[in-house]
Amino acid sequence: MYIGQKRGKRILFNDHKASSTLRNRGFIGINRGEKLSIDLISAYFLFSKKKIEIYEGKKKLSEKDILDIIGGNIFFYHAYKFLRERGYKPFFKNNSLYVEGKKVVVIKYPEFIVFSNIKNSFTNVIVVDEDGDCILYAIEKFNFDEKKLNFSKNKDDFLRKIEKSKLSIKAGSKYGSDFRIYDGKQTHAKYLLNIEDKLSTKDLVARVRVAHSVKKIYVQGYIKSRLKFFTVKWITV
């Protein structure tokens, strides 16, 4: 069992062998020469697996001690654990969770997600409930094939344009969304569309699960200077 020393909000491993082993196992941190400093969330994951002990000075920290330090950020631990146990190698940088160099947005259920705040063309989001259960989503910018639809000023403008496009639209209430969108004359809708910038994760989870179960693509629209779109896909890992 390796020994880590608490240094501020990080855990430092002075032992060269411990540092080398942790690096080889994908625990990414800050190198201090041959020593390794990792964030507290990663350290608590190792602690929970009985791989390390953590000291503050000469005091051996208990699980309660560590959880008191983590405090309200425990939902980040659940997201980290979820990814780590599924073969990923997550790490923290500037108080944000990253996987393979890309930031992962972590949201507590049933808090809200604001789509206009998503800056990247592709973003992973993890929703964490009060029991620590996690759901992983891939959120990606989306354009309909009809170019005019992607430059709609608002919902009414979008509806007018879609009537003249190769797509067709019907109410989506039975699926918990605003609209069903059909590709040409297909008998089954290809997309479920909801237009709303701020959405509770409670509604998001329900709508995406429905879309997944009926084999449709869930599209979230929002208005920022014009109507823009994201697809939201549930990633089963």
Regarding whether 35 and 48 lie in a shared domain, the answer is yes
Regarding whether 222 and 154 lie in a shared domain, the answer is yes
Regarding whether 184 and 103 lie in a shared domain, the answer is no
Last residue of a domain, one of 54, 71, 88: 71
Regarding whether 101 and 172 lie in a shared domain, the answer is no
Regarding whether 114 and 189 lie in a shared domain, the answer is no
For residue 186, what is the domain's CATH number? Answer: 3.40.1350.10
Regarding whether 216 and 195 lie in a shared domain, the answer is yes
User: Which string of DSSP letters, residue by residue, matches 113-178?
Assistant: EEGGG--SSEEEEEEE-TT--EEEEEEEEE--SSGGGGG-SSHHHHHHHHHTSSEEEEE-GGGTSS
Which among 17, 36, 14, 16 has a CA at the least distance from the CA of 27? Answer: 36
195/158 Cα distance (integer angstroms)? 11
Last residue of a domain, one of 71, 91, 119: 71
What is the domain extent for residue 62? 2-71
Regarding whether 222 and 175 lie in a shared domain, the answer is yes
Number of domains in the chain: 3
Regarding whether 230 and 144 lie in a shared domain, the answer is yes
109/126 Cα distance (integer angstroms)? 10
CA distances from 48 to 43, 53, 62, 128, 162 (A): 9, 10, 11, 19, 54
Question: 53 pairs with which residues across the strands?
Answer: 3
**Could you read off the pLDDT of 133-191 as tens digits, one per residue?**
999 999 999 999 777 898 899 999 999 999 899 999 999 999 999 999 999 888 999 99
Residue 116's pLDDT band (cuts 50, 70, 90): very high
pTM equals 0.92
Regarding whether 84 and 52 lie in a shared domain, the answer is no
Mean pLDDT of the chain: 95
Which among 71, 95, 91 has a CA at the least distance from the CA of 83? Answer: 91
CA atoms within 13 A on the CB side of 153: 3
Residues in the chain: 237
Match 């049933």 to its residue by tokens.
110
Quick one: pLDDT at residue 131? 97
Is pLDDT above 80 for 117? Answer: yes
For residue 62, what is the domain's CATH number? Answer: 3.40.1170.20
Quick one: pLDDT at residue 101? 87
Last residue of a domain, one of 71, 103, 126: 71
